[in-house]
């Protein structure tokens, strides 16, 4: 039976979504094409109707996952982002969690296309967080540029600290007291830093997913 263009697009999107989840759970090198297609409900041979190589899928799945994280951060207060992000729930939900926390270490060893997607995704996330932090308050000239640099530095610090907390916690055994301690200490320190910079005001509630 001939597959329509619309169905082919749906199948591709399903493969990309499945790949993103499996990559976050197992890493890029921990998932083969055959296993991936089986998980998506398709045959191995069907893969090459949609993608030229596994590397192509890795880049697209990364972009998709990163866009999802950015979308969930848009308009959200940095404090709420941290309160949702630096948690045991996120730590344990690797497959449904943030692509940056799950795959940044792997991305550093992957082809340039994957790294390019990570660079773009991280930049977009920083921009979304910075916009939420600045709100609609107008700036003026040099003061505005200085405020933007300060806000950007604060968001880089917050994001790096938050991602690092999840990565370190995941490196510990499941149920380890240290895994929880890392999350608790880092969350408290990040929130205290945000509050000291005036970034403690909360806005709309953020989705439990990150």
Q: What is the pTM of this model?
A: 0.85
At 135 the pLDDT is 59
Residue range 53-196 forms a domain whose CATH class is mainly alpha
At 121-143, the pLDDT tens digits run: 999 999 999 887 765 455 556 66
At 160-177, the pLDDT tens digits run: 999 999 999 999 998 899
Single out the residue of 120, 114, 118 nearest to residue 53, CA to CA: 114
């Amino acid at each position: 039976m001939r597959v329509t263009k619309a169905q082919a697009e749906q199948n591709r999107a399903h493969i990309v979504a499945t790949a993103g989840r499996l990559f976050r759970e197992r890493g890029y090198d921990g998932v083969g094409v055959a296993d991936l297609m089986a998980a998506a409900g398709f045959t191995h041979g069907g893969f090459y109707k949609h993608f030229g190589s596994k590397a192509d899928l890795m880049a697209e799945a990364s972009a998709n996952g990163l866009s999802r994280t950015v979308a969930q951060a848009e308009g959200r207060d940095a404090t709420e982002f941290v309160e949702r992000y630096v948690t045991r729930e996120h730590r344990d939900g690797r497959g449904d969690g943030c692509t940056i926390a799950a795959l940044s270490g792997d991305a550093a060893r992957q082809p340039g296309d994957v790294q390019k997607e990570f660079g773009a995704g991280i930049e977009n996330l920083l921009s979304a967080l910075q916009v939420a932090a600045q709100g609609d308050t107008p700036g003026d000239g040099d003061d505005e540029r200085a405020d933007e640099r300060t806000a950007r530095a604060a968001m880089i610090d917050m994001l790096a600290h938050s991602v690092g907390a999840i990565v370190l916690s995941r490196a510990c055994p499941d149920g380890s007291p240290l895994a929880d301690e890392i999350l608790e200490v880092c969350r408290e320190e990040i929130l205290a830093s945000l509050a000291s910079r005036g970034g403690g005001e909360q806005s709309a509630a953020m989705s439990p997913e990150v």
